[in-house]
């Protein structure tokens, strides 16, 4: 009898250990539900104190994971191996995710803080009526440059970068849309141009820029510019703000020909297991004071109109990061180009990267 009891006891204990291991594994992989929420965001793109504040206010445990590209994020969600409850894709990716049926429609009645968002940034072409997404941050693509290293240069145009005096002085971010977009804008073409002749012209013009390009890099562009390893960089506005805080000789300009106006929005993927908690998290991030604190930390421009009241006037009135309506009209949102056209952009960008100096 003792042997039988011992046998059943071993089975019960073993089962308990196994269930605990499975539960821990699921949590580490991002499986969520109940009082757990898995958030998938860009790296260094939230004030982590706010995560702790949300957990304290709601009792929901947040598992926070990061990605480094829209493509990587979308692929992981498509594969469905991890149950992400909230993700933060960019505008053209949101359009693709809607088409691929990867998003859950938002219940606006559960997002009362949505009223805080500036109407200029609502109901945009990539998500009409914000059925699937709400704005998180926005910004531009432009030029950061060192006034001390370029005392006699005034940078106002994309075409200024082709000046022979700038040999080996320019850093470019490693992005096909951004670099090809610079080439297209410099010729007066749209960032979303799919005319093969225009794209070939842009690539040919970029080849002429090669002698001026010191390197094509990723996130390290912020450190390199701050340390004066180059005098000019093609960057996103939020990165420019961070770089400028490290080096007062740096300035940022959105070229007069126009540039990219980008948006990162919060969405609820089809993989979500805690849809209710996802709405709570999104609404929390839309709170004016929360959005202001997050903006102070991240450095990008907030679409939260009510949050502006809690930010320094010097920041809010800086047209480099909160452009005037006149300049904003010249800015374009990236459109979903489709696989074939995007492949062409990537192919031409790769050819440019391999072009000899």
Using one digit for the tens of pLDDT, what is the confidence trace for 223-265?
Answer: 999 999 999 999 999 889 889 999 999 999 999 999 999 999 9
Write down the residue that tokens 């703000």 correspond to.
241
CATH code of 192's domain: 3.40.190.10
Q: Do residue 159 and residue 253 come from a single domain?
A: yes
Q: Which residues pair with 274 in a beta bridge?
A: none
Write down the residue that tokens 């002429």 correspond to.
208
Q: Do residue 116 and residue 196 come from a single domain?
A: no
Give the β-pairing of 133-146 and 250-253.
Answer: antiparallel
Which DSSP letter does residue 163 get? -
CA atoms within a 13 Å half-sphere pointing along the CA-CB vector of 248: 0
Q: Do residue 134 and residue 157 come from a single domain?
A: no
Which of 233, 209, 210 is closest to 222 using CA atoms? 233
Tokens coding 294: 């997050």
Q: Do residue 145 and residue 134 come from a single domain?
A: no
Q: Do residue 117 and residue 72 come from a single domain?
A: yes
pLDDT digit string, tens, across residues 300-333: 999 999 999 999 999 899 989 998 878 888 899 9
Q: Do residue 58 and residue 151 come from a single domain?
A: no
Write down the residue that tokens 């959105």 correspond to.
254
The answer, as to whether pTM is greater than 0.85, is no
Structural domain boundaries enclosing 111: 32-138+263-316
Q: Are 299 and 238 in contact (CB under 8 A)?
A: yes
On the question of pLDDT at 209 being above 60, the answer is yes
Q: Are 241 and 312 in contact (CB under 8 A)?
A: no
């Amino acid at each position: 009898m003792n042997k039988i009891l011992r046998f059943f006891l071993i089975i019960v204990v073993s089962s308990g250990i196994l269930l605990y291991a499975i539960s821990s594994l699921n949590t580490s992989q991002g499986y969520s539900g109940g009082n757990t929420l898995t958030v998938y965001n860009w790296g260094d793109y939230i004030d982590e104190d706010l995560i702790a504040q949300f957990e304290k206010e709601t009792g929901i445990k947040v598992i926070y994971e990061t990605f480094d590209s829209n493509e990587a994020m979308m692929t992981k969600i498509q594969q469905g191996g991890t149950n992400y409850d909230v993700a933060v894709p960019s505008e053209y990716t949101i359009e693709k995710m809607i088409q691929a049926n990867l998003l859950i429609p938002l219940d606006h009645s559960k997002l009362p803080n949505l009223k805080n968002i500036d109407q200029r940034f609502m109901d945009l072409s990539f998500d009409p009526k914000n059925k699937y997404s709400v704005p998180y941050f926005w910004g531009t693509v432009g030029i950061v440059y060192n006034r001390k290293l370029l005392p006699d240069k005034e940078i106002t145009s994309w075409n200024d970068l082709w000046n022979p005096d700038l040999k080996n002085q320019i850093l470019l971010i490693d992005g096909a849309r951004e670099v090809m977009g610079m080439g297209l804008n410099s010729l007066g073409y749209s960032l979303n141009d799919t005319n093969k002749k225009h794209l070939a012209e842009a690539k040919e013009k970029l080849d002429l820029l090669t002698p001026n390009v010191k390197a094509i890099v990723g996130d390290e562009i912020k450190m390199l510019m701050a340390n004066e390893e180059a005098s000019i960089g093609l960057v996103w506005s939020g990165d420019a703000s961070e770089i400028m805080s490290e080096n007062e000789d740096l300035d940022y300009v959105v070229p007069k020909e126009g540039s990219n106006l980008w948006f990162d929005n919060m969405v609820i993927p089809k993989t979500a297991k805690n849809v209710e908690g996802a709405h709570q998290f999104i609404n929390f991030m839309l709170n004016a004071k929360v959005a202001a604190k997050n903006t102070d930390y991240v450095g990008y421009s907030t679409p939260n109109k009510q949050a502006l009241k809690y930010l320094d006037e010097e920041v809010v009135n800086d047209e480099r990061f909160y452009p005037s309506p006149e300049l904003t009209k010249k800015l374009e949102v990236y459109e979903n180009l489709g696989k074939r056209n995007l492949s062409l952009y990537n192919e031409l960008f790769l050819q440019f990267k391999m072009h000899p100096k």
